A and B are shown apart, each in its own frame.
Chain A
Amino acid sequence: MAATIDVAHVITWSILISLVCGVRVSNKTYVEIDGVSACFRRFNATHQIGCNSKASGDVGVVYYVETEEDINYIIKTANQAPYAILMGPILFTLTNVQSLWNSGKISGMMVIHLDKTPIPDTFSPDNACPSDQYGLYHGNSDYGSCTKGQWNPHGNSMMFQDYAFPIFILKNETEVDYLIHDCFEKFNKPLAKGHPRDYPLCAVELKDSMSGSKDTVTCVRRNSMQVSLNPETYCDPLGDNNIVAPLKAIPSTEDYPPKSVIVAAARMDTFSMFENEYPGADSHVTGIVGLLAAAEAIGKVKERIVNNTNSKDILFAFFQGEAFDYIGSSRVVYDMVNKKFPEEPVSGETHIHPIDLHHISHFVEVNQLGQRDNGKLWIHTDPISFSSNKTISDEVDDMIKKITDIGGTVDLNLGRADSSKPLPPSSVQRFLKKRKFPAIVITDHQASYTNKYYNSRFDRPVTIKANSTDYDTITEQAKQLTKVATTLARSLFLLATGENDTDINADVTKVNHMLYCFLTNKSCDLFQEIIDKDNLNSLLESSTPYPFYVGVTNTDNHVTSLTKRLLSLYTGDKQENVTESNCNAPAKYKVYGYTWMQGALEPGSTNREGSCIRSTVSLTSAKSPAFDITDYDWHSGEYSTWTESSWRQDAISVRVFLIPSEQMEVALLCSGLAILIISLAVTYFINKKSSILFKTFQNSDPPTENTRI
């Protein structure tokens, strides 16, 4: 008998334990969606752009819209609002977003962003006339505001809208399928026209809560007004570093004649509406790789420039933050004017001779190079400086003739864009604002952009035919870009020395490797070779390319440091008999920088032979002068004022759960309240009648003063 009871006990207890064993209620209620990127807030001096949700997140019933008709259904008929709209990228247009939002039935949006998802034929969230306000032609009645033609006709300005609701992109196929099939179709999809489903419905909570608000002026002020013990930032200025390398390395102690530097420039960054989705294949990676490959070709013959006193210097410059109203180039101009470029002179130290605007003799900028117009590239000029001065126009004509001729010898077709048309958006505009000199911009379009995905999340390697699955397969884009780099290298060499050397050639393997590393797989051999041990782990974490977004000034930009290393490798010299620990610049002689690279794997082993590279490559600030000038007039429109909102650790999340009907919620609340009131009444009654159960003693001693106060 006793044994039976024991067995019964054990069974009962084990059932009880298995029933209560710890799954948290939140885990049973919510399904987290992790593969997302949020649209977040940014500010300039007058506006806020981007998305924001309530601090606790915005909840909506998931509705997957597949056609315009579904959108109309939501706007006109649907009655289970608020809805969180799930859609493909083709329906994600400014018109649809606005009409959905204006219906008042929307709490947020999710846009599917998988590699296989069909994408729109054209999409650019940038303006039709990018960065016009901060360019050379702002306020010019002949050339300003793209009066001669929009550069980016597909630009829909979606980036620059202020959305009062959260928008996410979904990047994980399993999760997208879950949302469509297990959430929307199972619970929410109307069974027939006009017959919405019964509760419970599948809902999503979209949390995208930004800290900053209003504009840069407000949030910069709030950053400086911290009274709390745990200071928090509200926004951070966009910015990073420019990469610059004067080939000749003339020390500050020597003479540096005016008009003796040819600037060869490219831009480093792009943007899109969503965090970490900045592929920028054509927007600027083609330009970076093109210029790096040209630097590599010139690096092989650089002694002939460096040791030739009559030769001009070549300054390679990669500007950061250009997509946000020319942050990098405007800072370089500001530093040049203040004699602080490339670095501020420190007394008692020898450094590179400061370079000023009057040192510049020519300016060659490469822009988008990937979407060539029937195989052709176009050379653009500035009509204002061209028509202002005979010397400049002659030099521009001469420069274009030289480049076009050299292009002809390597089978690269270069055309000259209409010289009455203004320059496309380019860094050189910021220089020409201050001083006129011969300047050209080489790019892949004659009039409007051939790139249909300018500054967008669709500017992917596949659209410029630079996608390859392995490191060593030479892509079509690499072959074409090599021709451009060769032309560029020979032209720069000719402009500097006056010699036309047909032995200068860019290396197609290197071009291909750079494209592969920047666009497809960041943990490729090339990047592993040039990096040092400290940064290796971040490189090997995943193959996903580093984002080409300028970022905020207080974080490291991996693309900048890798580009700096590549440029050092290509234009610098390997130092013999130097170890990693003494790969440093001498104390008082700062003309050269020293960079340690861990080197290639030795065949058949895991050893690497590292090397110390001495080069003139240096980083200069790419923070808008607006944030460094005391009492800067924020509304002057002189410098970029972009900042990015901060957000807390837990401010961005997406999770799915079931919601009951409103009646159900009210019923639950009421029954809860009823139970509360009943239990209060019962307690009161029991307390009142407690003397029946418990014998009470009357305590006659009065309480002391101490206990009563």
Chain B
Amino acid sequence: MDLKRVSNEDKLSLCRKYYVGGFAMLPFLWFVNSIWFFKEAFIHSSYDEQKQIRTYVIRSIIGTVVWIAILITWVVVFQTNRVSWGELGDRLSFILPRGIA
């Protein structure tokens, strides 16, 4: 969808949907929201709904960053401890490694 062709009201409603949707453990929606509406929120000349959009985008960015931090921490913890966790490590793996512990 090209945002240029969408009315400002629809933009706000769309941005809001993505923002709210992100709370359903869907950080990727926040990530998309922050990229997609970045220009609308910070660069384009101002219009009525822009302030609201900006709030959603800022919160989406914060959410994305928090999620990325959580995921990176988990990946590091998991990768460094998988072997020592033994059975738990295997149960948490979808693809079991071949030839290495």
Interface residues of A (CB under 8 A from B): 52, 55, 209-214, 218, 221-222, 225, 227-228, 232, 234, 708-709
Contacts and interface: CB of A to CB of B under 8 A. Distances in A.
Contacts of A52: 99
A149 to B, nearest CB: 38
A234 B98 contact: yes
Contact of A210 (B86, B90, B96, B99): B99
Interface residues on B, range: 10 to 19
B48 interface: no
B25 to A, nearest CB: 22
17 contacts: A52-B99, A55-B99, A209-B98, A209-B99, A210-B98, A213-B99, A218-B101, A221-B87, A222-B90, A225-B91, A225-B96, A227-B94, A228-B95, A234-B96, A708-B1, A708-B2, A709-B1
A60 to B, nearest CB: 19
Given A708-B2, A709-B1, A213 B94 contact: no
A708 B95 CA distance: 37
B100 interface: yes
Given A227-B94, A228-B95, A708-B1, A213 B100 contact: yes
A211 B98 CA distance: 4
B99 A221 contact: no
Interface string B77-101: 0000000001100110011111111
Which 5 pairs show the lowest CB-CB distances between chains A and B? Answer: A214-B101, A211-B98, A213-B101, A210-B99, A222-B96
Interface in B1-23: 1-2
Contacts of A211: 98-99
A452 B40 CA distance: 84
A212 B97 CA distance: 9
Contacts of B1: 708-709
Given A708-B2, A709-B1, A55 B91 contact: no
Contacts of B95: 228
A580 B1 CA distance: 77
Nearest to B95: A228
Which DSSP category, helix, strand, loop or mixed, fits chain A's interface? loop
In this complex, the member of B87, B95, B98 whose beta carbon has the largest number of chain A beta carbons within 10 angstroms is B98
Nearest to B100: A213
Contacts of B87: 221
Which DSSP category, helix, strand, loop or mixed, fits chain B's interface? loop
Nearest to A211: B98
Contacts of A232: 98
Contact of A213 (B2, B86, B97): B97
A234 B98 CA distance: 8
Interface in B60-85: none
Given A218-B90, A218-B101, A232-B98, 8 more contacts: A209-B98, A210-B99, A212-B98, A213-B100, A213-B101, A222-B96, A234-B96, A708-B1
Nearest to B97: A213
Contacts of B99: 52, 55, 209-213
Contacts of A213: 97-101
A212 B100 CA distance: 7
A405 B74 CA distance: 76
Contacts of A227: 94
Contacts of B97: 213
Contacts of A708: 1-2
In this complex, the member of B86, B99, B101 whose beta carbon has the largest number of chain A beta carbons within 10 angstroms is B99
Contacts of B94: 227
Nearest to A215: B101
Nearest to B86: A218
A235 to B, nearest CB: 11
A180 B40 CA distance: 71
Nearest to A232: B98
Contact of A221 (B90, B98, B101): B90
Nearest to B2: A708
A651 to B, nearest CB: 9
A99 to B, nearest CB: 25
Contact of A225 (B2, B90, B98): B90
B7 to A, nearest CB: 14
Contacts of A228: 95
Contacts of A212: 98-99
B97 to A, nearest CB: 7
